[in-house]
């Protein structure tokens, strides 16, 4: 397999490119320096997907493995109707496979290349772009390379933000609370980024959104020149001219987006209050990441009493509890760091503690066998948070409790585990996942 070219894969089914016994790889959709993107199909469900194949050796030589890991982390954080979904990550010794939502409408750039868009259509795409960017920023994610080439359209002509390869996470902020990496496409990059000084990632993304809105309505870039340095000078001064066909309302908005001083640039909340933006705008329906159909009833059920909880495989136990085995930062897994703990208490005692804790936290509770389902009563960013805690047996004197999110927001779930669950259960916990017992 090592000797084959990057787009050739040894397959068990002659004539069909089957990988991992799950996906059939089809035609090449596009390629970059380190990756190729293929059309694919889930052979079980028939669902169309896009499969991004990355050559590990090339990425390692370019010292870009951290960037690949960061892209995976980011795409797992940002599940939104207007963002391309990362379905799973698979890997072999030589390659990494990103299995992503297939967006068949192509790039928004191709539509703009034919000419300027009508104002209503440009507004729709801009509304969807701002909704997606706002969601990313709420997760501490800054895209840093927003441009029409990275905006895709699905079969319903809805926008999908893609390519998070240059995105930044909070841990990349320096002590001054700013980002310092110069990246992105010059024509769309904010002046503070080009100056190679620290910048606020959210403000930089807003500038790029302003350039995109101008391009959609004008059909050309606001800052362009054959000489790159002259173009930079225009960006630094914020010098551009509006085409005569733009309405006064949209001019007013663009003038607030393309402000050279990031402190005076309009915020996303400010954009959403502008009458031009609000016209026909409806908040997108929240996406449930784990998508479980588990329901939590108002009235708790009595604890069922099977002889013992389900057995937890010893290898699973060792690999889950040891931080050295934790690959969650690179490969998709249902178990998140800190979602498991061991206990020397009996399963019934743990169940009783879980149920009483849920009640003290004012959660709806449903108990069935060795599973406790808990649901919050307040609406979160993505609906009500619902969590399941399941007790497993490793040995007669050792139990494992695993938490998983059924619905709601991922960051709210992490906060719930860290701030509510851990302190409440400390008297029955032996060790949390990744900690030394």
- 116's tokens: 């300027």
**One-character DSSP codes across 98-139:** EEEE--TT-BHHHHHHT-PPPHHHHHHHHHHHHHHHHHHHHT
Are 324 and 383 a contacting pair, CB within 8 Å?
Answer: no
- Rounded to whole angstroms, the Cα distance separating 91 from 107 reads 27
Give, for 401, the enclosing helix (H) or strand (E): strand 398-407
Helix axes 248-257, 201-218, angle to 10 degrees: 150
CA distances from 277 to 123, 200, 216, 253, 254 (A): 7, 23, 14, 9, 11
Q: Is 52 annotated as a binding residue?
A: yes
Cβ neighbours, 10 Å, residue 192: 22
Q: Of 279, 263, 134, 146, whose CA–CA distance to 213 is shortest? A: 146
- SS3 annotation, 23-75: EEEEEEEEECCCEEEEEEEECCCCCEEEEEEEEHHHHHHCCCHHHHHHHHHHH
- 418's tokens: 């860290």
Catalytic residue among 145, 200, 205, 409: 145
Phi, psi torsion values for 300, nearest 5 degrees: -65, 145
3-state secondary structure of 373: strand
Are 93 and 3 a contacting pair, CB within 8 Å?
Answer: no
- Rounded to whole angstroms, the Cα distance separating 355 from 363 reads 10
What angle (nearest 5°) sits at the alpha carbon of residue 70, between those of residues 65 and 72?
A: 100
Catalytic residue flag (residue 145)? yes
Q: Supply the DSSP symbol for 417.
A: I
Close Cβ partners of 26 (under 8 Å, ≥ 6 residues apart): 17, 38, 39, 40, 41
For 302, left (φ over 0), alpha (ψ -120 to 50), or beta? beta
- 94's tokens: 């030589």
Residue ranges of the annotated binding site for ATP are 52
Active site residue ranges: 145
Residue ranges of the annotated binding site are 52
């Amino acid at each position: 397999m090592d000797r084959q070219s990057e787009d050739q894969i040894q397959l068990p089914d002659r004539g069909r490119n089957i990988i991992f016994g799950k996906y059939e790889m089809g035609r090449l959709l596009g390629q970059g320096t380190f990756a190729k993107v293929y059309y694919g199909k889930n052979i079980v469900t028939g669902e169309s997907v896009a499969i991004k194949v990355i050559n590990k050796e090339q990425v390692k030589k370019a010292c870009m493995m951290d960037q690949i890991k960061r892209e995976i982390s980011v795409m797992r954080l940002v599940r939104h109707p207007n963002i391309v979904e990362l379905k799973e990550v698979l890997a072999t010794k030589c390659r990494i496979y990103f299995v992503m939502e297939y967006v068949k409408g192509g790039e928004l750039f191709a539509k703009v290349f034919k000419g300027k868009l009508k104002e209503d259509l440009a507004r729709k795409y801009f509304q969807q772009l701002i909704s997606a960017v706002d969601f990313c920023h709420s997760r501490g994610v800054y895209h840093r390379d927003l441009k029409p080439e990275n905006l895709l359209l699905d079969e319903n002509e809805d926008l999908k933000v893609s390519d998070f390869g240059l995105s930044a996470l909070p841990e990349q902020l320096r002590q001054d609370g700013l980002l310092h990496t110069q990246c992105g496409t010059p024509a769309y990059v904010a002046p503070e980024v080009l100056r190679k000084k620290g910048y606020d990632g959210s403000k930089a993304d807003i500038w790029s959104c302003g350039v995109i809105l101008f391009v959609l309505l004008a059909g050309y870039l606001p800052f362009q020149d054959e000489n790159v340095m002259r173009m930079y000078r225009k960006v630094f001064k914020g010098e551009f001219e509006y085409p005569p066909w733009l309405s006064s309302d949209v001019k007013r908005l663009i003038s607030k987006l393309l402000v050279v001083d990031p402190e005076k640039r309009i915020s996303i909340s400010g954009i959403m209050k502008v009458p031009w933006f609000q016209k026909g705008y409806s908040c997108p329906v929240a996406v449930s990441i784990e998508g479980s159909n588990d329901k939590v009833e108002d009235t708790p059920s009595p604890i069922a009493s099977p002889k013992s909880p389900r057995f937890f495989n010893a290898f699973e136990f060792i690999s889950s509890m040891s931080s050295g085995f934790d690959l969650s930062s690179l490969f998709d897994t249902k178990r998140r760091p800190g979602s498991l703990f061991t206990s020397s208490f009996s399963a019934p005692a743990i169940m009783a503690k879980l149920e009483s804790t849920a009640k003290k936290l004012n959660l709806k509770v449903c108990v069935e066998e060795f599973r406790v389902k808990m649901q919050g009563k307040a609406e979160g960013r993505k609906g009500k948070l619902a969590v399941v805690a399941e007790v497993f047996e490793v040995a007669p004197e050792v139990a494992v409790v695993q938490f998983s999110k059924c619905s709601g927001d991922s960051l709210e779930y992490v906060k719930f585990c860290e701030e509510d669950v851990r302190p409440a259960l400390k008297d029955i916990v032996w060790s949390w996942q990744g900690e030394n017992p």
